Amino acid sequence: MIIKQMRLGPMEVFSYILGCEDTHKGLVIDPAGEEDRILDTARAWDITIESIVNTHGHPDHTCGNRKIAERTGAKIYMHTMDDRFFNTPEGEAMAVQMGFTPSPPADVLLNDGDTIPFGCMELTVLHTPGHSPGGTCLHVENNLFTGDTLFVGAVGRTDLPGGSLETLLRSIKEKILTFPDDTIIWPGHDYGGTPTSTVGLEKKHNPYITDFHLARKVSGQ
């Protein structure tokens, strides 16, 4: 599998191009603007972009949806709850106020356990709410694309509309920490000391996991 990680825009969003090595069909995760750079990278690796997959609906992660879709014909995938939450006048106003291009509505609505094919491969969708109502992580082989659910050494903010720290911590415990320790974490922002991590390293070093805050919040103890 081909994985290209790109840091884009003023908020240091990590966008990803994934490609099937056998068919060279691929997808983009969270196109955060700089659409020419994304498409040039795909062409350089001979990847045909057929899908745009958003880990969540915040405009810093979806602002490239429209141009990428128009230029490639790719379908937009987003969790049902975030598509509903952000495709409102208020959601579009938030994007414009932040200086981003609003995304069109998703072509394909996702739910927990759905799969997204690209060539001979597929992503599995994990619903991980907390940062947003329809936040997701995306799993393929030994890779987990965590969006703004889990960063390297931190977690996504929960003070935005639809956010909940308790829900986010439960998502991490029930959906992410169940993966093998060598699972590679590909986060949604370049906010950590390294651009990637592993489930095992986050168990050892992420304060939201190591200082019992996670267990207490989830169990209510």
Domains of the chain, each with CATH number or no CATH: 2-219 (3.60.15.10)
Residue 221 has pLDDT above 70, yes or no: no
**Cβ proximity of 54 and 62 under 8 Å:** yes
Report which of residues 200 and 93 the model is more confident about: 200
List strand residue ranges (DSSP E) for the chain, in order.
2-8, 13-19, 25-29, 48-53, 75-79, 108-110, 115-118, 121-127, 136-140, 143-147, 150-151, 154-155, 184-187, 197-198
d(CA 155, CA 169): 9
Distance CA 14, CA 6 (A): 5
User: With 50 as the cut, is the pLDDT of residue 215 above it?
Assistant: no
* Element containing residue 69 per DSSP (H, E): helix 65-72
Give the lowest-confidence range in 52-61, 76-85, 157-166.
Answer: 157-166
User: Any idea which residue has 């990637």 for tokens?
Assistant: 196
**pLDDT of amino acid 211:** 78
Please determine, for residue 214, whether its predicted confidence score (pLDDT) is greater than 80: no
Enumerate residues 6+ apart whose C-beta is below 8 A from 183: 142, 143, 144, 198, 199
Q: Which residues of 97-116 are buried (b: 16+ CB within 10 A; e: fewer)?
A: eeebbbbeebeebbeeebeb
- Give the ranges where 176-212 is alpha helix by DSSP (H): 199-205, 207-210
What is 26-44 written as a DSSP string? EEEES--S-HHHHHHHHHH
According to DSSP, residue 204 is labeled: H
pLDDT band at 41 (very low <50, low <70, confident <90, very high): very high
Rg of the chain on CA atoms, in Å? 16
